Amino acid sequence: MQQVYLGTTGLAVSELCLGTMTFGGAADRDTSRAIVERFRAAGGTFFDTADVYTGGRSETILGELLGDDRDDVVIATKAFGAMGEGPNDRSNSRRHLVRAVDESLRRLDTDWIDLYQLHRWDPTTPIDETLSTLEDLVRSGKVLHVGVSNWLGWQIERGVRLQEAAGYDRFVALQPQYSLVERRIELETLPAAAANGMGVLAWSPLAAGFLTGKYERGQSAEGQGRFAEWVDGMPEQGWDTLDAVRDAAKSLDAEPAAVAISWLLAKPDVIPIVGATRPDQLDATLAACDLDLDGETVRVLDDVSAPDRGYPYDFGAVEGRPPRD
């Protein structure tokens, strides 16, 4: 597995990030250990978690499993969600974030967090309050870099412009849902991230397992996991995309999951977040690091999965007039 830089920072991370949402839930401690060992053996150094994952158990287990390897790995975590019953036990407020960082540091058994992300946009807290709090956390050394997850394009622009005006450390990463069947962030959110030099950590790159090929068109997914209803509502374009992924996998003698992850790896500054409930589930996604999709395969996948742009995204070109350099 190659090492890449996160956005425009000097922070080197593995080209795949291990998501640990299952730790302490679908994956018990021993299984989580086997997953981490498999990822580390393949050269993985980047781990993503959040305080709300399995009620904090994900952070605790991850901290225990990394142990003496802490200096050799990069840890990202997130805050926003409710961690208690009180009115101040959630949000991007100063009160909540200051406490949330300390609790995450304790659970992770570390002195610093490499990437601290706002899990969601918070309409209830003034953004100036949130940004000044993040800056204080960076200056304290508890946090090295800051990022956001699930933000819209205008929210990214608003945040970064305020950070620049105040002389704060800027957001360096965006964590959105991104896959061959969920590309709508390409319309606004990805351009905003790219314009601001932010790396992209793609969550659910296999679309909740849909792109592994385990589901079949016309057959109900009822009883096959918590995303069954979402799969049953998959539009025809999604099934057409899966057919194209399967065709590519067959021609390359690869697994559909490897093709789907490799497609993301071909995108600039995109790091897929891969997860598992068993160590063997990592095999297909790790294989993506050695799979080079040719230009024609990428074009086919791009075309079949392209989101409907519509107005105003198809209104920018002016006939007969070349773009400026």
Write the CA distances from 143 to 24, 55, 104, 105, 111, integer angstroms: 25, 21, 11, 10, 9
At 201, which amino acid appears? L
Q: 281 near 32, Cβ under 8 Å?
A: no
DSSP classification of residue 168: P
Q: 97 near 132, Cβ under 8 Å?
A: no
3-state secondary structure of 254: coil
Helix 127-140 vs helix 153-166: crossing angle, to nearest 10: 60
192/78 Cα distance (integer angstroms): 21
3-state secondary structure of 178: coil
Reference 25, options 203, 277, 283, 275; nearest CA is 277
Active-site annotation holds for 215: no
Reference 46, options 100, 90, 99, 9; nearest CA is 9
Reference 62, options 101, 18, 9; nearest CA is 18
User: Active site residue: 53, 116, 168, 215, which one?
Assistant: 53
Backbone angles phi, psi at 307, to 5 degrees: -70, 150
256/253 Cα distance (integer angstroms): 10
40/36 Cα distance (integer angstroms): 6
Helix 57-66 vs helix 29-41: crossing angle, to nearest 10: 50
Residues with a catalytic annotation lie at 53
